[in-house]
Amino acid sequence: MSLRYEKEDLQEAIRVMREGGIILYPTDTVWGIGCDATNAEAVRRIFQLKQREDSKSMLVLLDAPGKLQGYVQEIPEIAWQLLEVSEGTKPMTIIYPGAKNLAENLLAEDGSVGIRITEEVFSKALCSGLKHPIVSTSANISGQPGARFYNEISDEIRRGVDYVCHFRQDDTEPKQPSSIIKVELDGRIRVIRP
């Protein structure tokens, strides 16, 4: 499997998201459905495609820890520590209290948001090129098994997006979802998915 992606593939995915579209793309975990995380209409379309209640939140990807402050009101010290120890290990999604500058329909009822710093080359380049966080939700209808790699994604999902990225479509190595940890301002943490 090549870790090099086609520049045109990346540029087209970014163009589609800038115009409010949704994409199917490889992440540092499983394949995801994504859009500009600041665009409420695009987020609504993902909920509709997944046939998922919009009362459930979706996580977002960022390409660098330094960008967290643009989307989280106050970052608990424990979150910085978790990010530091997780480098080079299984991808980790951290749920932060007090999200800001994101589509309202993306957030949990308590105003929190799950954010993962991606190290995977393509999704990192997508975030960097779009200059916004990208929604990352599993490429499946809600309640159905998640696709571990591209060939397991249903035709319904493939037809429902505006662009399907070409990078890593031939990858047959199953990927696992990230661990999920919720952090509170007072330093408490709760492991939601190890």
DSSP 20-44: T--EEE--SSS-EEE-BTT-HHHHH
d(CA 63, CA 72) in angstroms, rounded, equals 15
> Would the pLDDT of 2 be above 60?
no
> Would the pLDDT of 170 be above 50?
yes
Compare 5 and 20 and report the one with higher pLDDT: 20
Mean pLDDT, range 135-148, rounded to an integer: 89
> Would the pLDDT of 101 be above 80?
yes
Whether pTM exceeds 0.85: yes
d(CA 44, CA 15) in angstroms, rounded, equals 19
> Predicted confidence band at 145 (pLDDT cuts at 50, 70, 90)?
confident
d(CA 127, CA 13) in angstroms, rounded, equals 11
Mean pLDDT, range 131-138, rounded to an integer: 96
d(CA 173, CA 179) in angstroms, rounded, equals 19
CB 163 within 8 A of CB 47: no
The pLDDT of residue 3 is 63
d(CA 63, CA 43) in angstroms, rounded, equals 19
**Using one digit for the tens of pLDDT, what is the confidence trace for 7-21?**
999 999 999 999 999
**Using one digit for the tens of pLDDT, what is the confidence trace for 33-84?**
999 999 999 999 999 999 987 667 899 999 999 999 999 999 999 999 999 8
DSSP-based helix, strand, coil % in the chain, nearest 5: 30, 20, 50
How far from 20 is each of 11, 117, 144, 156, 163, CA to CA, in Å?
14, 22, 26, 20, 11
**Phi, psi at 181, each rounded to 5°:** -130, 130
Mean pLDDT, range 3-9, rounded to an integer: 85
148-152, 161-165, 166-170, 179-183, range with the lowest pLDDT:
148-152
Strand order in the sheet with 23-25: 163-164, 23-25, 32-34, 134-138, 59-62, 113-117, 92-96, 179-183, 189-193
